[in-house]
Amino acid sequence: MTFHVLILCTHNSARSVLAEGMLNHLAARLGRDVRAHSAGSAPSGHINPFALEALRSAGIDTGAFRSKRWNEFSADGAPPLSVVITVCDSAAAESCPVFFGAQGEPVKVHWGYPDPSNAEGGDDGKRRAFELTRQALGYRMLQLLALPLESLDRAALQAALIGIGRS
């Protein structure tokens, strides 16, 4: 059975897309039956070009990415979510979306990252920030994929994901 992970950020244009791309890419490479999705509470309607560039530089096909609203994942026919991860930067007083699943209650965790779209230094600074964010998210996604997802109960999964968020 596929383990579905929804990654949320307000605009679904940068961090959540980087996380979705990295988790799907790494899961495929490791042969894990994990599928990432991303969405936002107020999607921008486009993916930040620096996010797409960072994913492409990691060898990820970006053709299917789109900015979407989180309610797609609480509608009939949505994948049964096991985990919801918010990646907004609560330290910057961003408001992260709160997700209420339609098919049971997924485990929820917050892994905050600063918005690389706000990086200083012009385009070069933004490129660096997006690449560093992609790498940091990729590291956490590798840790998630190293978990025995099939055998963890809800409390153990929550604790493991919180631990990853602190690493």
Q: What pLDDT, on a 0 to 100 scale, did the predictor assign at position 41?
A: 84
pLDDT in tens, 5-57: 999 998 999 999 999 999 999 999 999 999 999 998 889 899 999 999 999 99
Determine contact, residues 69/39, Cβ cutoff 8 Å: yes
Instruction: Provide mean pLDDT across the span 80-104.
Output: 68
**Does the structure show a pLDDT above 50 at 123?**
yes
**Domain count within the chain:** 1
Dihedral (CA of 72, 154, 109, 146) sign: negative
> Residue 91: which pLDDT band, with cuts at 50, 70 and 90?
very low
CATH of the domain at 53: 3.40.50.2300
- Name the residue range of residue 50's domain: 3-166
pTM > 0.85: yes
Q: What pLDDT, on a 0 to 100 scale, did the predictor assign at position 73?
A: 87
Tell me which residue has tokens 């602190």. Answer: 166
Q: What pLDDT, on a 0 to 100 scale, did the predictor assign at position 105?
A: 82
Phi-psi region of 141 (alpha: psi -120 to 50; beta: other; left: phi over 0): alpha
Q: What pLDDT, on a 0 to 100 scale, did the predictor assign at position 92?
A: 42
**Does the structure show a pLDDT above 70 at 1?**
yes
> Residue 98: which pLDDT band, with cuts at 50, 70 and 90?
low
pLDDT in tens, 41-53: 889 899 999 999 9
Q: Which residues make beta-bridge pairs with 39?
A: 8
Instruction: Provide mean pLDDT across the span 58-80.
Output: 90
